[in-house]
Structure 1
């Protein structure tokens, strides 16, 4: 969720692809070359192997049900043939990051924007903005899960209704700590926790860090706490929030956000790495390697 002012987005606009008012384009499948498909295959193979035993079962079920190709960048149309009958969602191709309002409108109408282009081979481990692998492999498999799909829809509607710009940081934090960097309880896992957030799922480094590092805090999910907690966009997270199951997100989806946003909009946010006395602490982090500034 961002204002479209990145160099990469300008590059996409300059490339001459027809971009509609809602920032969608037709997936330009003819522009994927051998390198793009090779990068997809390398990332898919690496993450699929790494995520075994570390990612929630619903994600793996989603990958299987969507028939994601391990060999080449998938066709968005083919994915929609599986996704739409299951939960009413569809993916739409976009040139990159889209404005907040446009993003919320898509979610509120069960459309998930997926960046069409693939990262370069020298960007396998870090990319400043989301590409097709992050958006498609990281986000879309859970959209075939009915409970998670309803949460995303409700989130979009709530965000769209929040006209007060001061409320956007609260909603951004909720998205960040659930959709992007969420953890979920799983007693079958060695440490009782697994991954579901797309920002972790699509990253080798964050997959290992979020589950195995002693540095970050791991705290039980609480809606108000999450909405008031700042986060990091330039390093691994200082804090992760863990839900019990996806039904907990379904409860969030039924929240009346209007009074909550009005009450929290002007409250001082919590630093990304702080642990409160009211927190349900699963793991208190050591803070090793943390930057002292840069929380947003």
Structure 2
């Protein structure tokens, strides 16, 4: 639930660093800015993890509250110390050019394309998370605590540490997404600059059945729907609500496929 706030904090961190870089090399600028976004998201997710681990605060409640805190914090900063002095609008300064992520159009004759290096970083992140969860001891502990914290505790694991680490890692990935959005698309932040990517990510994860590699495909599907919505509305007059309806129906059908009737053949509790 907290991905939206972590996305916003990652974007904020990337602007705070990227707008004040005194270097000209993208080989240094891009890693620094994205690293700041990664750490900012990890910190924001780690707050929820610490509250869950040591005060037993439900992560759903804490992350929702942190989402609004991040939103209002950005709103205050872009009207105060982070406001662009050359603009009359409440927005931040642009990040320096050394922090720009390369685009496909930078590599050849592809005018008008906004595909950028963030696509590759997203795919690599999904692969890294899959390897972590399925091929490492830490990943096994994370899955064990997620399925049954009491059984994991009985097995000698430390659920509190795992909760904190999991939420911090989740926040780091969301924060990285915010940094990519700034360094590749918007180059600055303003009120409501995020169209709700963090909330869309929940639907993407549900459609992927929480599988890290499947997330790549479902994210692409949602991206096609999102971009196609504008074309359908402009060329055919199809309301945007139709696209949202399609997204909702796909998610509901996917969730429904995970349930079965008691006694269904081949399932637990039925005939074998």
User: TM-score if structure 1 supplies the norm length?
Assistant: 0.27
User: TM-score if structure 2 supplies the norm length?
Assistant: 0.29
Rg: which structure is higher?
Answer: 2
More helix by share: 2
Relative CO higher for 1 or 2, CA cutoff 8 Å, sep ≥ 6?
2
